Chain A
Amino acid sequence: MEEEKPRDWLDHELIPLSALEHFSYCPRQAALIHLEAVWEENVFTLRGRYVHEAADLPGEELQDGVRVERALPLYSRRLGLVGKADIVEFHGEIPYPVDYKHGPRRRREHDDLQLCGQAVCLEEMTGVPVPKGAIYHASSRRRREVEFDVPLRRRLEEAVAELRRLLGQTRLPPAVADERCRHCSLAAACLPEVTRPSPRLTRYLTRLWQPSEEP
C-alpha cells in the first residue's frame, strides 16, 4: 500500500492515469508505451487522440443546469497520479467523471480502473466524495455507470504500486503471449511470439551456418 500522506513526487514517479488502463490490459504494453517510448505503430491512435484533444478544448459550460468541465487536469498527491478527465459533470457539488472511449470495446475492468483513478483525483482535489462515474462509448452512444466501491479502490491502489515498481525498473516484463496480443496495437513492436522462450531462435541460428547445396 502507498503511504497515505501527500508527498512531492519526482516527475518520473508520477503515474499517468492513461498508463493504468494499459497496465491493467497488459503490463508489457504499459512498459512499452511508458518505458520504451514505443509510439510509431500507434501513430494513428495518437493522431486520433490529438483530434480528440483538439475537439475537447479546456472549458466550462452549463448543460441542463449541470456544470460541465472539459479536459480538466487531474492529480492525486497521495497516490502520485496525473492526467486529464474528458468530462467532469458537477451534480451539485459532487463531481461525476465521464470517460470517452472511441476505440473497440475493451474488457470493463481496464476502463473502470482508469475511471476510478480519476475519481480518486477528484476527491482529493475537491474534498468531496465521488461515488460514481460513467464510461461513454462513442460507437454505441451509451453510458455505462461505474460505482467506485471498496474492491475497485483497493485494486486501483495495488495497480498504482505495481505500475510504479514496473516503471521504476528499466527492464520490460515478458510478453503475455496470449489472446490479448491478437487485439493489441503494439504487437508488432512487442514481438510476443519471438521474445517468448522457444526453440525457434536456436533452430534458426543453427541453420544460419548451413548454406543450401549448389544446384
Chain B
Amino acid sequence: MKDRCMPTSRPLLKRFTAALLALTPWIAPAETVQVAVAANFAEPIKAIADEWQRASGHTLNATVGATGKLYAQIRNGAPFDVFLAANAQVPETLEAEGLAQPGSRFTYARGQLVLWSANARRVDAQGDVLRRADLGKLAYANPKTAPYGAAAVQLMAALGLTEALTPKLVQGESIGQTYAFVFTGNADVGFVALSQIFKNGQLKSGSMWRPPGNLYAPIEQDAVLLKRGANNPAARAFMQWLKSPEGQTLIRTYGYDI
C-alpha cells in the first residue's frame, strides 16, 4: 500500500508546497490592525474595512464606542493600534501623554450634527420641531464622553433652548445608543451624526434637520497612530489609506465634510 502511494503522492505534495510558496508573498506581510472607532463612524468603518482589506490583504478589527470611553480604555492598556476619534482633543491628549505616535495625527473627517426622527414627517427643514409643545423625548449622547453630545449641548445653548429642552432630554451612552433610542421610536427626535442616517449621499429613512455649522464648534475628527501600532505595518498602511483619495471619497459618501 505504502509503496504504491509514495511515488504518486510526492509530486502532488511538491506541487502543493510550490503553490503555497507562491502564495507566501501575499500571506507573509498580512497583519491585523486593531482600530478603536468613535460610534459615529460605525457605518463607514464597515465599508472601509471591506474595501481596505481587499486592497491591502491585511485584516482590520474595529471596536466601536464613545470617544471618551475608548480613551479611558486606551489609557488603561487596551490593545488598539489606531484610534479614529470623534474630536481632535482626545487624540491630542493621547499624543501629549505619550500614548500616541507624535506627528501621526490628522483629520480624517469633519462631522455633521443632525436632528433626526425615525418618523418621516416629524422634523421640519428649520428644526422648529424643537420649539413645539408636543415634542416628546429628545435623545443626545453623553456630552462628557461623546463629542456629538457635547456639540448638541452647544447647539441647544446657541438656540436659547437649553432650559426648555432639559426636561425632555434622554442620554445615550454613545452616539450609537442615541441612534438606537430614536430608531426604536422611544425618543421622538434626537441629535445624531449625519453619517448614521446617510448612505451614498442620501437620507436612509425618517426626517432630519441639519443645523447651521456655526451654531456649534466644528467636529474635527482626528485619527492617531497609537504607540502599540507604531511597529505594525498594517496600522501604518491603514493610516495612509485613510488619507488617500479613495479613502476620502468613501468617507464623503457618508455625509462627512472632508
* A, B: real partners: no
